[in-house]
Amino acid sequence: MLEKRFVIVGGKGGVGRTVVSVALATLLARRGRRVLLAHARSKQRIARLLGCERRFEIDEEMRKVEENLWAVNMTPEASLREKGLMVLRFKAVYRAVLENRLVRYFLRAVPALNEYAMLGKVWYHTTELGPDKRPRFDTVIFDGPAMGHLITMLRIPQVIVETVPDGPLASDAREVLGLLRDPVRTGLWVVTLAEEMPAKEAIELCAAARSDLGITPDRLVVNALYPEEADPRHAARLDALAGAPLDGELAALCASARTLGARRAINDRYLAQLARQVPLARVELPHLFVPELTRAEVDELAAIIERTLAG
């Protein structure tokens, strides 16, 4: 799993895809692999998660974050511009062609061009060579958009292959499709919460990946799990206190404990459902009770992922 060339991280919006992507990239980079972490228009403050917010933000320019780790927050416009410069070679030619008002109007009308531009960029970086003619990156991690958007994006190469005449566009699409469908080089990490809607969409994403996209799901990451009850007797004591007169602080503490227990019960119900319907190796990550996630929490999650994979 840790030697894949291309890892796609997908799931419902709000389940923590970006945090999991950053933790996985951190783990791989610190194991010596050269990693590119490519986000698709992420709205999170990625620099805070990577611990580089005092030096720079993670934007459309690829930046080296630490040894073996680079990051970019892609936009369709920047991806199209980069592809245009690669094809047309010279900035003057690029400006004359792709910055022409009529050409830009035409390009905006091309269905799914923005999505394919970003997918094409991450594919290119899986093939990119360095000055020594070795792959520039050992692994590219793609923090994709939310589930529905991701499925649409990953279908585009097949549509191009089936509908576009032979030429550079169709040739590239075949290469992208070959990468996506190669389980040796590519894997899909599906991130979810152990709750009703995220679990439902995780099940749907795994099914769509196999049946419609030909992509192999590798791991199910269940994020933000509430802690298990360490001692079953605690629940009985809380129940006994429920009707007793309590002072304000103790009442608030008991209410919080009952809420945590209820949340964990929900988690357990959907963990069981996911075990039945998604037969994948699973990574379970805890809910971290902090005001906001920083590099320290990412390192903690990366260590849990490493232990889980090693086990």
What was the pLDDT predicted at 247?
Answer: 63
User: CB burial class (10 A; 0-12, 13-18, 19+) of residue 209?
Assistant: buried
Domains in the chain: boundaries: 6-228+279-310
What was the pLDDT predicted at 98?
Answer: 47
What was the pLDDT predicted at 239?
Answer: 58
Q: Is 142 left (phi over 0), alpha (psi -120 to 50) or beta?
A: beta
What was the pLDDT predicted at 166?
Answer: 80
Cβ atoms 40, 142 nearer than 8 A: yes
Sign of CA dihedral 46, 48, 51, 53: positive
What was the pLDDT predicted at 4?
Answer: 94
User: CB burial class (10 A; 0-12, 13-18, 19+) of residue 308?
Assistant: middle
| pTM of the model as a whole | 0.86
In angstroms, how far is CA 251 from the centroid of its own chain? 40
The 8-class DSSP code of residue 67 comes to T
Considering the domain 6-228+279-310 in this protein, what is its CATH number?
A: 3.40.50.300
Distance CA 159, CA 244 (A): 65
What was the pLDDT predicted at 168?
Answer: 72
Mean pLDDT by groups of 10 residues along the chain of 311 residues: 91 96 97 96 89 93 96 80 51 46 48 77 92 94 93 90 79 92 96 97 96 95 88 58 61 70 92 96 95 95 96 79
